[in-house]
A and B are shown apart, each in its own frame.
Chain A
Amino acid sequence: MTAGAEQERRIRVLIAKPGLDGHDRGAKVVAASLRDAGMEVIYTGIRQTPQMIAEAALQEDVDVIGLSILSGAHLELFPRVVDALSERGIGSDDVLLFCGGIIPRVDWEAVRELGFRGVFGPGTDTREIASFIREQLPTLPARAL
């Protein structure tokens, strides 16, 4: 490769809100903070079906998918998002999955079992989220190069 010819590699992140949950402040705060941390963030807005989220993840070829949910429907919606992703050949071994919002601690274990590597609740310092991504990404077993 000629010196400096290759573009610097950027981490691409999808921030998505599944279901009818209209609380979008947190998602926007997280999206803006990851942009400020140097990442390319695709934000798709509220009211996304699992199919829409999976399709966006596929077309945008993201490295990271972050779901934001405050409605309480996470145990119902997250498995459907994971299924829609795997229907498209995307798994938690090649894309970093994590989430935030109002997710009670009693549900964390179930959410992790679905493949979500991290759960971030109210009051999270956004710098923590960016460092989490930088630490976790290299450990994905099937990450594409």
Chain B
Amino acid sequence: MTASSALAAGGDLADGIARGDRRALARAITHVERDDATGRAVLAALYPRTGRAQSVGVTGSAGVGKSTLVARLAAEQRRRGRSVGIVAVDPSSPFSHGALLGDRIRMQELTSDPGVFLRSMASRGHLGGLAESASGVVDVLDAAGYDVVLVETVGAGQDEVEVASATQTTVLVTSPAAGDEIQSMKAGLMEVAQLLVVNKADLAGADTAVQQLLALLAIAAPRAWDPPVVKAVARSGEGVEELADRIDEHQRHVRDARHADAERRTLVEAQLVTLVTAALSRRALAEARRSGALGSLIDEVVARRRDPRSAAEALLAGIAATAAGDPAED
């Protein structure tokens, strides 16, 4: 596709989205996900219309109940008269690069509601619990007019801090069964969360888990926003109303004139860091694979003639050189 036809296609999709055409919305997300020229044109056209939605990321270990909670939260937001866009990210297989995206199963009741748009995404090899393009997909749903955008991350462990770069409010979900996990919880994850949920509060040990979280929060550095801890039973919906209230509170905080600018700068910086990091590594490695430089550097390190750090430096120097003569988008 030529640059101008991609621009036109992106513009058409953006117009379709403005008219409320859901097929155009779905198609636009596909392009953003592929990060192709049409997807970039869509994002460029839509970005000025973003900023209205409250965006909420839901993260936590595998099986803690993220999907169940997101479905409940979406239903609660619908009761409050808000339309909801959902992005559910599942892992891609590192071997086949395929993925089995099963989050719709737990969100059945929502799928016949015209006020809900649910999109499953594969992480496509991106680390950090999110697909690289997730923040772009959030922007598209925001521009499409959804009042709330919920993002469920891959439940892999404790490294899903990146959700903080795609959404304004990050909810970290744990469960009573995760007592040891809370004890060893990484500061990084605690710091990106603006809300902590102890889900499966129907199981024994929920109060202990809450106490452990509060103790951890007490020793964290003081912040402008104190993360509340909410007990919930996603299966029955208990605690979900309170969670929605707390999210609204945090959103008021984020949008409060006294913090709005700083909050937004933090978010945008995190987004740029994520995008640049991913793009740089992809470019450096693609170019080095193509030219054979990667193979020869590996040979040198294997033979211990070079150390890995200087090999990495050499790869980065390689893209700096190609960037200087980078051809225009095709």
The stretch from A54-62, A71-79, A100-108, A118-126 touching chain B is A54-62
Residues of A contacting B: mostly: loop
> What B residues does A39 contact at CB under 8 A?
98
Q: Are B34 and A6 in contact (CB under 8 A)?
A: yes
Cβ-neighbour of B283 out of A3, A10, A12, A55 (below 8 A): A3
Q: Are A5 and B96 in contact (CB under 8 A)?
A: no
Which residue on B lies nearest to A43, using beta carbons? B102
> What B residues does A144 contact at CB under 8 A?
27
Interface size on A, residues (CB 8 A): 39
Q: How far is the CB of B24 from chain A (nearest CB, A)?
A: 10
The stretch from B171-179, B264-272, B322-330 touching chain A is B322-330
> What A residues does B279 contact at CB under 8 A?
5
Q: Which of A75-108 contact B (CB under 8 A)?
A: 88-90
Tell me, in angstroms, the Cα distance from A56 to B112 when the chains sit together: 9
The stretch from B118-126, B181-189, B193-201, B243-251 touching chain A is B118-126
The size class of the interface chain B forms with chain A is 35 or more
> What A residues does B132 contact at CB under 8 A?
7
Q: Are B112 and A10 in contact (CB under 8 A)?
A: no
Cβ-neighbour of B96 out of A3, A35, A60, A88 (below 8 A): A35
Tell me, in angstroms, the Cα distance from A32 to B93 when the chains sit together: 11
Q: How far is the CB of A14 from chain B (nearest CB, A)?
A: 9
Binary CB contact string for chain A from 34 to 78 against chain B (1 if under 8 A, 0 otherwise) = 111111111111000101100110111100000000000000000
Q: Are A6 and B35 in contact (CB under 8 A)?
A: yes
Which residue on A lies nearest to B121, using beta carbons? A40
Binary CB contact string for chain B from 91 to 131 against chain A (1 if under 8 A, 0 otherwise) = 01100111111101100100110000111101010000000
Closest 4 CB pairs of A and B: A4-B286, A35-B98, A45-B105, A61-B26
